[in-house]
Structure 1
């Protein structure tokens, strides 16, 4: 339901503004909070329930966050129990188009992940590690002969246990959501936020929080 809403929001061209704690970086489609709310309110999750947004919800009241990243829009959305509660600008890898295929390609991976590590003292302020590579990445690499049977097995076992998958295979790893600024595509494949936004997200999210990255 949340994913369907976000897709509708993006296709509608609705303007959105930052909530509290933003490090700047208002959406390129600038507009007032009121006009944004009016546009979003016209959307529907399932043609029965109106879409709701609440950018002023305190972080301590965001209990079940779901993170959605839309690479083409350079936006990160946080949903909480069916309500859009945060909307942040992001920077991506130096080669942002397409899914990540392997170590050093500069791409931000796409798919469904969970947060597997929280680092309060990252090189880039704070960071949340994504569970890359996913099962899909591992299967494709194994079929292409890029992974050994042992490497493939270890990735799958880690994902089944909901822990950090191996980061020392040809697929690469260490893909984080971290601070440092959303001023452009400058990372090695990570998702970068302004530090104030990262601080909010770090407070809201925990190990196991779902993260979906779309093209």
Structure 2
């Protein structure tokens, strides 16, 4: 009977420890006041005012240069947006939504007689065997990081946080920033 109890206790401990490996993390550090994505550097920066708290290599839409104009163009938007939603059940592990399209994006697409698209997220889950190395863009316009990195970002970045997605081309940056 003692052997049975020992085995039962070990089995229960193993099952409980498996439950503790949640994808939901907690964060108690400085507030993330802005997210900055630099499409040219293929980097995402989580900022507390002027200070970089964390930075990550990213992958972008499969057609990475230029601003997203219409649904299906494979581009990642450029400009100022806001984190507006969370998806704990994303098919890409976890994801946080970007409020694309904004009024400017909708007007641009309408002028072209097209839909601007939507559902732009920062998410995890690059395809198996893909490294986040700045060379293998694969999303339909989203910003991808690893699942483990996404767990950190999901915990750190709250809804309402501004996000600036900077163009790869420096001349375009001035236009997107309104200068």
Question: Does residue 93 of structure 2 align to residue 101 of structure 1?
Answer: no
Long gaps (5+) in structure 1? 1-57, 148-169
- Counterpart in the other structure of 1:7: none
User: In 2, are the aligned partners of 1:65 and 1:204 still within 8 Å (CA)?
Assistant: no
* Structure 1 SS opposite 2:83: strand
Long gaps (5+) in structure 2? 1-25, 127-131, 168-179
- Counterpart in the other structure of 1:209: 161
Question: Does residue 124 of structure 2 align to residue 179 of structure 1?
Answer: yes
Cα distance between partner residues in 2 of 1:194 and 1:145: 35
Q: What is the CA distance between 1:145 and its match in structure 2?
A: 5.5
Where does 1:1-215 land on structure 2 (aligned, <5 Å)? 59-142=27-110, 144=111, 146=113, 170-181=115-126, 182-183=132-133, 184-215=136-167
Cα distance between partner residues in 2 of 1:76 and 1:197: 11
Cα distance between partner residues in 1 of 2:31 and 2:60: 27
Cα distance between partner residues in 1 of 2:81 and 2:37: 11
* Structure 2 SS opposite 1:91: coil
TM-score of the superposition, structure 1-length normalised?
Answer: 0.59
Deviations 1:82-130 (A, max 9, x none): 2111110000011001000101000001111111110111100000110
Q: How many residues align?
A: 135
TM-score of the superposition, structure 2-length normalised?
Answer: 0.71
Moved over 6 A (4+): none
* Structure 2 SS opposite 1:68: strand
Pick the structure with greater CA Rg. 2
